[in-house]
């Protein structure tokens, strides 16, 4: 079980994905994220969502709507169950698709994008390169990755802030205007 760290669902427990390969954004990092942004009434996209814990943390703190994307059937079932546990089924869209394909096909604007792809497989760099089109111009992109991962930020994105939490790095990015 995971615990929501802040907001109206603080202390509520949600299920984890029944897969040992799934890694979760720590409570410390989620609390830090919430302190960095005013998520009130924001449209949020969580890529490589796993259990959905980060998106649910955003909803707990006032986000209007969260779209969860994951390629794993186990993750999708877990997110659906967690949305029911928290009573937020009407505030979420749950999409079973590879995050790279989702970004290539997406036409909807999001205020905040949070992505926590599997570490050290290059998927993060692939995802970053898919934020080049106009639809992402006003989005804040939060990229969680391992400090051991070689990250190449595309030239159309700039780092607004970088935070380190042990072996985890959060890159806060936006389009260069």
3-state secondary structure 49-86: CCCCHHHHHHHHCCCCEEEEEECCHHHHHHHHHHHHHH
Domain ranges of the chain: 2-125
How do residues 70-87 score in pLDDT, each as one tens digit?
A: 999 999 999 999 999 999
How do residues 37-52 score in pLDDT, each as one tens digit?
A: 899 999 999 999 999 9
- pLDDT band, residue 67 (cuts 50/70/90): very high
Check residue 63 and give its pLDDT.
97
Check residue 176 and give its pLDDT.
87
Check residue 173 and give its pLDDT.
96
Check residue 25 and give its pLDDT.
83
Question: Mean pLDDT over residues 117-129, rounded?
Answer: 86
Got the DSSP string for 80-118?
HHHHHHHT-GGGEEEEES-HHHHHHH-----SEEEE-PP
CATH architecture of the domain with range 2-125: 3-Layer(aba) Sandwich (3.40)
Query: Which letter, b or e, does each residue of 13-35 get, where b requires 16 or more Cβ atoms within 10 Å of its Cβ?
Result: ebbbbeeeebeebbeebbebbbe
How do residues 4-45 score in pLDDT, each as one tens digit?
A: 999 999 999 998 988 777 777 888 889 999 999 899 999 999
Question: Mean pLDDT over residues 99-113, rounded?
Answer: 96
């Amino acid at each position: 079980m995971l615990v929501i760290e802040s907001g109206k669902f603080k202390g509520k427990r949600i299920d984890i994905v029944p897969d040992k390969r799934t890694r979760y954004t720590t409570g410390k990092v989620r609390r830090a994220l919430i302190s960095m942004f005013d998520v009130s009434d924001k449209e949020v996209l969580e890529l490589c969502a796993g259990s959905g814990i980060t998106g649910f943390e955003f909803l707990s703190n006032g986000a209007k709507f969260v779209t969860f994307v994951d390629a794993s059937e186990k993750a999708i079932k877990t997110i659906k169950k967690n949305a029911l546990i928290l009573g937020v089924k009407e505030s979420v869209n749950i999409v079973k698709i590879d995050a790279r394909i989702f970004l290539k096909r997406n036409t909807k604007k999001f205020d905040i994008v949070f992505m926590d792809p599997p570490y050290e497989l290059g998927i993060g760099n692939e995802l970053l390169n898919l934020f080049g089109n106009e639809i992402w111009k006003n989005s804040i992109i939060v990229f969680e990755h391992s400090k051991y991962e070689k990250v190449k930020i595309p030239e159309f994105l700039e780092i607004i802030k970088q935070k380190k939490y042990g072996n985890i790095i959060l890159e806060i990015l936006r389009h260069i205007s």
